[in-house]
Amino acid sequence: MNKETILTGIRSNDTPHLGNYLGAIQPMIQSAIKYSKTHCINMFVPDLHSFTTPTEYDSLFDRTLQNIKLYVACGLPIEHENVNIYRQSYVPAHSEMAWILGCFTGFGEANRMVEFKDKSSQLGDDRVSVGLFNYPILMASDILLYDAKWIPVGEDQRQHLELTRTLAQRLNNQFGEIFTVPNDTKSQQKFIDRDSSLRIMSLKHPDKKMSKSINDPAGTILLNDIPSDAAKKVMAATTDSVGVINLDWENQPGISNLLCISALLSEKPIEEVAKAMTGKTNYGELKSIVAGQVEEFLTNLQTKMKNLDDSKILGHLEAGEKSMNIIANKKLLQIQKAIGLRK
Ligand code: ATP
Ligand code: MG
């Protein structure tokens, strides 16, 4: 029987932040460790997605390699035969498949994507590209090429995952069982042991998610921040005037965000962490705990990054890309035949 595939990626438009780690990298690594004997683990860098919003082109290549190194430093077991690391643009079938899928996507359907609306409103009309509009379709291609069933992504990607499911079902209905339909969001969360979709908020603006492409240095903990600077950002986090600690996302988003970060970094259930702090009136105590956890986490991570053997990682990367091209081209050929491009 074929192994089920778990897949995720972080684009390399900018340095990843704590939200990326807690929302995408940490659950993926936990799954990789738990399931690498029984599942295929595809952890890639969607480098073609990286310039759907403005980025520095000169350093894109290096940032992509940095992301791969980050996965390894965070504990991805790349030695395991079922674990695959690769760069999207090194597997050209992604782009080809995206074009085909795009021709089966309604304009109105794509136009409903909230992430596009959010990002385009931040960018201003002259900087919004067709690439940004189309990217959920490229993401569908990233998933469907590998028959991936499990996609541990953050809450912001939920709608894109739904679009992927719709496209897979649509093409299967028309052409026969070509694609594996990824599981729905609810079962995805259960699979990665997360009750609700996770969204780490900005420390400065707790009503907005921590984001790579938004300029919010005081609200964002970058994974390459100097650990003591990151701790200072936590100490200066925006809270509220309630004066008592509660896990209450609606009325106390800043405090709830800190409780959430603390729970995930200590790998404890949020209810447990919240219970220990609920009713306390000293916000500074909670901030100090989280600041200490963040500082320790970054110090360890950055030490591991420094000690990696780059040539070994490159070897794994190239091997991953070779085998991914074989798998992806096979799937591409199936759809090319179905729609009349190949005999
Ligand atoms: P950008 O603003 O450039 O889109 P991003 O921070 O949203 O950057 P992505 O590369 O788009 O990062 O997303 C990579 C992964 O990280 C996705 O699975 C996404 O759901 C997750 N993620 C991003 N931001 C957060 C966040 N604040 N909390 C939890 N998960 C997040
Ligand atoms: Mg994003």
Residues 6+ apart with CB under 8 A from 216: 202, 204, 205, 208, 210
Of these residues, 69, 119, 149, 287, which one is catalytic? Answer: 119
Q: Quote the DSSP letter at residue 17.
A: B
Contact assessment for residue 133 and residue 174, using Cβ atoms and an 8 Å cutoff? no
| Distance of CA 336 from the midpoint of ligand 1 (Å) | 32
Between CA 46 and CA 55, with CA 49 as vertex, the angle to 5 degrees is 115
Q: Residue 199: nearest ligand to its CA?
A: 1
Query: CATH fold of 227-305, please?
Result: Tyrosyl-Transfer RNA Synthetase (1.10.240)
More confident residue, 197 or 236: 236
The answer to whether the CB of 24 is under 6 A from ligand 1 is yes
For residue 299, CA distances in Å to 225, 295, 315 come to 10, 6, 27
* Cβ neighbours, 10 Å, residue 275: 12
Of these residues, 34, 37, 117, 209, which one is catalytic? Answer: 209
First to last CA, the chain: 28
Considering just the CA atoms, what is the radius of gyration of the chain in Å?
Answer: 20
The answer to whether the CB of 156 is under 6 A from ligand 1 is yes
Residue 209 appears among annotated catalytic residues? yes
Most distant CA pair in the chain, distance: 71
pTM: 0.92
Contact assessment for residue 165 and residue 142, using Cβ atoms and an 8 Å cutoff? no
5-193+310-338: CATH, from 3.40.190.10, 3.40.50.620, 1.10.150.120, 2.40.50.140? 3.40.50.620
The answer to whether the CB of 199 is under 6 A from ligand 1 is yes
Distance between CA atoms of residues 127 and 20, nearest Å = 24
Give the residue from 277, 279, 280, 284 showing the smallest Cα distance to 263.
Answer: 277
More confident residue, 203 or 194: 203
Of these residues, 3, 117, 190, 212, which one is catalytic? Answer: 212
- Residue 254, CB-side half-sphere exposure with 13 Å CA sphere: 20
| 61-106 pLDDT tens trace | 999 999 999 999 999 999 999 999 999 999 999 999 999 999 999 9
| Distance of CA 214 from the midpoint of ligand 1 (Å) | 11
Give the residue from 62, 60, 49 showing the smallest Cα distance to 10.
Answer: 49
Confidence at 181, pLDDT banded by 50, 70, 90: very high
Mean predicted confidence (pLDDT) in 311-316: 96
How far, rounded to the nearest angstrom, does the alpha carbon of residue 307 sit from its chain's CA centroid? Answer: 24
* Domain segments of the chain as ranges: 5-193+310-338, 227-305
Q: Quote the DSSP letter at residue 157.
A: G
Q: What pLDDT, on the 0 to 100 scale, is given for residue 63?
A: 96
| Distance of CA 132 from the midpoint of ligand 1 (Å) | 15
Q: What pLDDT, on the 0 to 100 scale, is given for residue 23?
A: 87
Pseudo-torsion of CA 73, 10, 318, 85, nearest 10°?
Answer: 70
| 123-144 pLDDT tens trace | 887 889 999 999 999 999 999 9
For residue 99, CA distances in Å to 5, 31, 48 come to 23, 31, 14
Q: What pLDDT, on the 0 to 100 scale, is given for residue 152?
A: 81
* Among protein residues, the one whose CA lies closest to atom 7 of ligand 1: 211
Confidence at 156, pLDDT banded by 50, 70, 90: confident
Is there a common fold for 5-193+310-338 and 227-305?
Answer: no
| Distance of CA 274 from the midpoint of ligand 2 (Å) | 28
Distance between CA atoms of residues 249 and 32, nearest Å = 30
The answer to whether the CB of 260 is under 6 A from ligand 1 is no
Q: What pLDDT, on the 0 to 100 scale, is given for residue 197?
A: 66
More confident residue, 198 or 130: 130
